[in-house]
Structure 1
Amino acid sequence: MSQSYGRKIREIWHLVFRNVFLLVNLIIFAVVGLLFFFGDFKEGLFLGIIIFVSMIVGTAKDIQAWLALEKLNFLTAARVVRVNQDGTEEQVLPEEIQKEDSIKLALGDQIPCDGLLVSVSGLEVNEALITGESRSFSKTEGEMVLAGSIVTSGGGLMRARTTYEESRIAQMTAGIQNYSANPSPIQRSIKTVVRYAGYVLAVVIAFVIVRGLVVGELPTLVVKNIGALTSMLVPQGLVLATALLFAYGALHSFKRHVLLQEIGATEKLGRIKNLCMDKTGTLTENTLAVESMQVSGGVSREDAEKLVAVYVGKLGDSSETILAIEKFLNRKYNGEAGETLPFSSWRRYGGVVVKDGHFGSVTVLAGAPEAFFPYLADNSEKQWLEELVETRAAAGKRVVCFVRLKGTVLPRELPGAELSVLAVFVLHNNLREGTREAISFFQARGVRIRIISGDNPGTARVVAFSAGVNDTEAIITGAEMEKWNEDDFRQKTRQYTIFARIQPEQKEKIVEALKKGGFTAMVGDGANDALAIKKADLGIAMFDGAPATRRLAAVVLTTNSFSELPSGVKLADNIIENTEIFASIFFNQTFLGFFLFVILSILGYAYPFAPLNITLINYFTIGMPGLLILYWAIHPREKVNPASAKPFLKRVISFPLISSIPQALGIAAVFVWELSRSEGSAPNSLAVLTFMAFGFIFFLFAAGAYSGVVVRKRREQLFWLAVFEFFLLFVGFRIAFLTEFFGVVPPPLTSVIQILLVASAYACVQYLLTRFYGRKRVG
């Protein structure tokens, strides 16, 4: 059995475990056993059937959602290139790699397993994800490379020494690919509530047992009370309900070209407060075009074109910049080339040694002009280049500089080198379609856009301004930030909007600092973005970006367009809003059950419900409303409120907490009143009906309290749901088997009128509470 298959088995087992081995289920099963022990076979059998069916349905839904997400992840998963013994190449999943397989490495790849380098071509790797060392370094033939390293320059061929599952990177990315891992803030909050509800339940159970012993209650009644209180007080079903809402949200996000690689990203998209991105490939199109070629006075245009052609032809660089220059030159030069040094974002330049009778031995370097400024031998040439860069950057253009130095030694560091300008290429690329609208969408939500770019500060500022980014005057360069200490990073980073000429390791530190000021997302596509994407609260990658970046991201834009992100965020807002409504229903039942227990205990009464009564109540107050909430979650309104920055529990818990008090008083009043009447009607049945009426009325008002407004279409849906529930109740109470099964009796007309009057009074109270706890208070 492969370890990939083993991972899936473990995941399915986890899904089964979290649906079956729950505190509520364990107590209910104990209640079933005790009911059989004390001779109440009918109640025990019925309750056992209900809980068993609920577990099967819940597990099936959970596995169904997981399988759907697994299918999406498989279709879009990053592949690696395996070289077969006959020389053919094939793309395979990292999990398919076996020991001794030959793996081809290219720029942007994340090495899938430990391996031995068979051949290299200017290969450089970064091991920051493994060792924490942010700098890249070269690798030679015969050396080992570690799984999780990112190829930052060059390429090569390695022979696998381990499988993917045996590597550290498998453990590192397991959380991203794991359906159950990386819980979102809402999921963590719900688990906290469930845990504390369990503590309260333990105290309540102890009280029920002691009370039963003191007053001499029948053991079966004590056991039924424990079962009913367990089902009522612990909102265990909310854990599954939230996971399913997020899973369905992820499936529908994919239809909007936003692939979520972790389940918690459904919520995280709606929490973004800092949105960091590169300029090229995010704000602008990846496709570049050369606008002009400028040549220094120390070389002819013909010679400059020939030397640049050697660099372009011999280095094997397939970046958009080099492809644009190659297209502009429209020529090939077959001069002899020696050693090559592939371009690296960490080094900011690449190079090639040219050996030619016409030129002699000369080394050509290409990269950012700022990387070469300090090492230009001719001051007039330096001044010319600086003025050229400044004027072109002010127009939003991108500048790539080619320089030369004598000799055949390729410098991996420039200090001490004497350079002269060979040629300067001025390039431009257009804003992506929809970029301005996407930037406007995020800024209207209060999101601070941050541009983290390796480009010239002038170029980055102009492009950001044209895209509609606010505060583009707040700009700083990587060279200035190199002088900062850790305190400076913590205190100053949030002051800036544009970070220009930034090194890859600086991106990671910038994101780390911004996280302290709010939920931070990082959008990127290159290998130099991988570390920052890993560090961010939410990593977002382009589908056609570097495999390492895509693998580490929680969100992938399948059309490579930043403009698709707002649609995913809108859906996330809608999922969050409906999760809040769903959670409020569960919390309302928990608080209502607890307050009712306290009131009746003070008055000297036992809890009036049996476990099957609670099951009936749940169908009408949680189950059917939950289906409508799920429909709302995946069919958003035209306008959805942005998700609040307040913690989940602060937004949600106060409304059901206050609302449950009048509900508990009303149910207690109906129960005590009916119990005191000489006719001797069934008070528990009336309490059940009153509970259902109050629960549904709460749902009607919660839909407006959390969404701010209930549009006409939703009002109609709520009306027909109310009609449907009333019809089911009417029919159900006319079927003897169902009334016997759930332990209720049909109420007389006078009691029905009594319930309607009490429910109407509660509806008035709930209306006032909803006005008070409107969207401004809850959200």
Structure 2
Amino acid sequence: MALETADPQVNTSPQAGLTGLTAAEVAERVSRGETNNFHPKVGRSYWDIVRENVFNVFTLTMLIMLSIVLLMGDYSTVFFAGFSVISNAAFGTIQEVYSKRKFDRLMAMQAPRVKVIRDGREQEISVFAVVKDDVLPLEPGDKIVADGVALQSDSLEMDESQLTGESDAVLKEANDKLFSGSFCVAGSGMMQAQVVGANSTVNKLTSVAKMYRYVLTPTQARINVIVKLSIFVMVVCTPMIFVAGYRQMGEIVNLTNFQSAVVFVASIVPQGLVLTATISLTIGAIAISRRQTLVQRVNAVESMGNVTCLCFDKTGTLTENKLAVHEVKPQNGTGEAALKDKLKLMLLNLSALNRTAAAIGVYVGAEKDAPPAQRKLREVPFNSTRKWSAVVFSGETLIMGAPERVISPSEKQLADEAISLAERGYRVIAFARSEGELADQSLPENRKTLALIVLSDRTRNDMKSTLDAFAEQGVELKVISGDNLQTVREVATQAGMHIRQAYTGDQLAQMGDAEFAAAALEGNLFARIEPDQKRKLVASLKAQGHYVAMTGDGVNDVPSLKEAHLAVAMNDGAQITKDVADIVLLNNALTTLPEAFFEGRTITQIIYGTCKIFLVKNLYSLLFFIFVGFMFLPFPINPTQISWVTFGVVNITAGLMTVRLYLPKKMEHFRKDVLDYVVTAGALGAVMATLVYAVTFFERGVGGEGMLAARSVIVVYLTLFGMLVFWNVCGIELLHPQTWRKNPRVFLFGLGAAFVTILAGYIVPQILAFVRPNLVEWALVIAVFLATALLLEIGVRTRFFANLIWKLTSPP
């Protein structure tokens, strides 16, 4: 994408100078509407929520058919089936609106803030309070929030990749145009905001290109596919019901046909599953937010449960990120006083201080904003690729950075000393001097090392327990750092990590694709890694089947955070990292992540459990209706009956599982633990229901009485079968009493739900069109139910039927 590069018109009036705007000038611009108070879409709107819950294919189809049934005078069907449809849509809408409001409030509490110069002093304000002509200071990690112009540039480098797709940093001089959506990666400067609000570059892109994208988790994607398949079956098969009714009764517009169509549609579309999944994710997001973790994408909660590999840096994760100078070792005869003067000279001329430079500044007494003894000619700012910075003066250049880059090849003994210090867990910085000016952005050959600066950063006391917690959850840990290999290895070992295999960035750079992929998988420590290598490591792990979470706090982490399935930022990190992150650790500590991952796994388990309950019902309904149709028998259940059974042993049980009153047994794989059970239970339930229906229908005699009796027996059987599925999902097997005793609450609740559902038929038989089964029919139902429990247990253990199905889809 090409950005507009028209010459900026700099406002040179006094109020636009580096003293910034006055309070009166700010108020004037606010009154004219020249503010940055623009809120792009960062989630589903209220209209999206209403549309998806109310105006979807399932709900509209049901409402149309129920309207016709109402005109035909069947009020019972309209009430029961309509109650299910309307309550599902209404509850889903209300719950999601409530959750959106609560989530939006949480997000508002963490709204981005920026620094501005007003009334001659630096202030921190909300990004939405920026007005036209505001003066904003820029440092590495700062995101540009409005289009403007650079007033000052001190080696200011901007990353415009989010706008242009180009990853190379762009050097900006005074009067150059700056675009919202880009961010500072090196140097510093001042800018003046000129285009704010909806007209800025990034907000135009957001509005026109709809940059917001709701990323589905693996489980959500699977549910989406299931819903689409169900709707396809509904659209194809519903007209067939009317054709079959026409063949039997000689007319299409018939109450019986519409009743059968209502049952069919309500039975095969798992609309309640979408609702329970959404509620589960929202409850999880709010719960995690109470644990010093801000969730910026609701379904990131489930993503946490899918994580198999966590990549993180050493600094600020394994360590406390409180760097302090441990020792300064002068070299080549440099005196201590002269060394401190040179360090102070360089630090006071740096355009921006990172944590390392700030720690050295404290040691030498380089006070912020103090005038340097000599002004620089130019600067080469530090970045993670160069791993060094330089300040050029008249007659000399001062250099600071990684020992392996800064120390001259002729100073081998000094390089060995730096390695020795790094092996003890210290961060080592080389400080060097070169006579003359730097010709380009490469290190001069005649440089001489003035000192080795040794910094320490204490290992976190709680890291051992945190690493153990990740191991218990089966999360593989990989340290990816820009620090020296020996330093990272020692710190990781102190924290309790077992280093299986370590690689450096230089080693990775020499590898081909296959060797790189093997190293990414085998290694668990990577040192002296450049930002693009970090991104490639994440991409390689993803390609090899890992679900990758990446933590970061600096500008150099942005590419890898974007690449990861789950991006985790530190609250004290650069604003741009928080902008691209899915979750933000408010306490800047990994210690909260194991709990968050556990919460994510709990959410996944709940969604898997409700999937079983809903999908078994959908599958057995579809097959049951097909089997009955093959035998040319009347439709096996009416809308009132199926609505009541679904409410009693499907919706209630799944709903209580969603709010965590009951939890499912542990499941690892969607296909093996969910779909295998659904296929086995759904097919078996359909066969057994067909058996019960056919035997009762013919035993009572073909006709109206036989149909009513057979439907009533089916109500009893499907209720008991729904109870059995709920028990199985929660880990109870009917034929193994020890499982009852382990979870008596689940066992008794299942019994109670089934009892109340069946009892309603005895209390209000007219409403449910219920004919009390005789003793023979009760014996038939119980016998078939026990046989179902036995065969289901055998089928689930052997996976015989499920494996036959999957063999059809496996490659030859």
Map residues 292-331 of structure 1 onto 2, 5 A cutoff: 292-315=327-350, 317-330=352-365
Contact 1:15 1:62 in 2 (8 A): yes
The offset of 1:326, in angstroms, is: 3.1
Deviation digits for residues 7-26 of structure 1, max 9, x if unmatched? 37961111111111222212
Counterparts of 1:435 and 1:362, CA distance in 2: 44
Please show how residues 633-652 of structure 1 align to structure 2 within 5 Å. 644=668, 646=669, 648-652=670-674
Deviations 1:696-726 (A, max 9, x none): 21110122289x9998898233134235425
- Alignment check: 8 A CA contact 1:66 1:179 kept: no
Query: Quick one: structure 1 residues 587 and 412, their matched pair in 2 at CA, closer, same or farther if it must change by over 3 Å?
Result: farther
Question: Which residue of the partner structure matches residue 659 of structure 1?
Answer: 681
- Report if aligned partners of 1:135, 1:346 keep a CA contact under 8 Å in 2: no
Out of 191, 214, 222, the position equivalent to 1:181 is: 214
1:114 paired to 2:147: yes
1:619 corresponds to? 647
Match runs of 1:362-373 below 5 Å? 362-373=396-407
Partners in 2 of 1:100 and 1:606 — Cα distance? 77
The 2-side partners of 1:531 and 1:337 are apart by 37
* Residue deviations 1:623-654 (CA, integer Å, cap 9, x gap): 21123212338x989xx95x73x4x3454111
The verdict on how the C-alpha distance between 1:5 and 1:745 changes in structure 2, with shifts beyond 3 A counting, is: farther
Q: Which residue of 2 aligns with 1:20?
A: 54
TM-score of the pair, normalised by structure 2:
0.85
Check the 8 A contact 1:543/1:557 in 2, yes or no. yes
> What is the CA–CA distance in structure 1 between the aligned matches of 2:364 and 2:625, rounded to whole Å?
83
Summarize the Cα distance change of 1:292–1:3 in structure 2 as closer, same or farther, 3 Å threshold: closer
| 248-257 vs 462-471, which moves further | 462-471
Residues 701, 766 of structure 1: 8 Å contact kept: no
Cα distance, 1:331 vs. partner?
6.8
Aligned to 1:358: none
Cα deviations across residues 513-537 of structure 1 (Å, max 9, x unaligned)?
A: 2221122221111111111101112
Q: State which drifts further: 718-727 or 146-155.
A: 718-727
- Amino acid aligned to 2:301: T
Q: 1:244 is matched by which residue type in structure 2?
A: I
Whole-angstrom distance in 2 between the partners of 1:506 and 1:755: 64
Q: Any gaps of 5 or more consecutive residues in structure 1?
A: 356-360
Worse-superposed segment, 742-751 or 611-620? 742-751
Structure 1 residue 145, shift from structure 2 partner: 2.1
Distance 2:771 2:659 in 1: 33
Q: Distance in 2 between matches of 1:228 and 1:40?
A: 14
After superposition, residues 408-427 of structure 1 pair within 5 angstroms as 409=437, 413-427=441-455
| Superposition map of 1:64-79 within 5 A | 64-79=98-113
Verify: 1:214 aligned to 2:247, yes or no.
Answer: yes
SS in 1 for 2:389: strand
TM-aligned CA distance change 1:661 to 1:344, over 3 Å: closer
Q: Per-residue deviation at 1:693?
A: 1.6
By how many angstroms is 1:297 displaced? Answer: 2.3
Task: Pick which of 667-676 and 722-731 moved more.
Answer: 722-731
Structure 1 counterpart SS, 2:730 = helix
Match of 1:241 among 271, 276, 285: 276
- Looking at structure 1, the residues matched to 673 and 201 of structure 2 have their Cα atoms a distance apart, in angstroms, of 39
Comparing 183-192 and 593-602, the one that deviates more: 593-602
Tell me, yes or no, if structure 1 residue 92 matches structure 2 residue 126.
yes
How far did residue 105 of structure 1 move? 2.1
Residue 66 of structure 2 corresponds to 32
Q: Secondary structure at the match of 2:155?
A: strand
Conserved? CA contact 2:324–2:456, under 8 Å: yes
Amino acid at match of 2:676: S
CA distance in 1 between counterparts of 2:536 and 2:204 reads 23
Letter in 1 for 2:373: E
1:59 aligns with 2:93: yes
Q: Which residue of 2 aligns with 1:348?
A: 387
Cα offset, 1:168, TM superposition: 6.4
Identify the match of residue 765 of structure 1 among 779, 783, 791.
Answer: 791
Structure 2 SS opposite 1:284: coil
Q: Which residue does the alignment assign to 2:750? A: 722
Cα distance 1:589–1:90, how it changes in 2: closer, same or farther (>3 A)? same
Alignment of 1:192 with 2:233, yes or no, is no
Deviation string, structure 1 residues 584-612 (Cα, Å, up to 9, x no partner): 11110111101211221122113222333
- Work out the CA distance in 2 between the residues paired with 1:335 and 1:85: 26
Long gaps (5+) in structure 2:
1-32, 804-812
Aligned-partner Cα distance in 1 for 2:791–2:111? 53
RMSD between aligned alpha carbons? Answer: 3.5
What corresponds to 1:146 in structure 2? Answer: 179
Identity %: 26
**Structure 1 residue 464 corresponds to structure 2 residue 492:** yes
The offset of 1:539, in angstroms, is 1.1
Is 2:504 aligned against 1:477? yes
Cα 1:494–1:521 shift into 2, 3 Å: same
1:744 Cα deviation from its structure 2 partner: 4.0
Shift of 1:132: 3.5
Amino acid at match of 1:387: D
Question: Post-superposition shift, 1:684?
Answer: 1.8
Residues 1:136 and 1:67: Cα distance change in structure 2 (over 3 Å): same
Contact persistence 2:311–2:551 (CA under 8 A):
yes
Alpha carbons of structure 1 residues 652 and 179: separation in structure 2 relative to 1, 3 Å: farther
One-letter code aligned to 1:295: P
- Provide the aligned length of Structure 1 versus Structure 2: 754
Q: How many angstroms apart in 1 are the aligned matches of 2:213 and 2:485? A: 42
1:524 aligned to 2:563? Answer: no
| Partners of 1:684 and 1:224 in 2: CA distance | 14
Contact kept in structure 2, 1:179 and 1:263, CA below 8 Å: no
CA distance 1:420–1:30, change in 2 (3 Å): same
Comparing 553-562 with 96-105, greater Cα deviation is found at 96-105
Correspondence 1:453 to 2:481: yes
2: CA distance, partners of 1:710 / 1:4? 60
Structure 1 CA distance, aligned partners of 2:159 and 2:783? Answer: 72
Question: Please, which of 245, 251, 266 is the counterpart of residue 231 of structure 1?
Answer: 266
1:200-226 deviations in whole A, cap 9, x for unaligned?
223322331221111116611111111
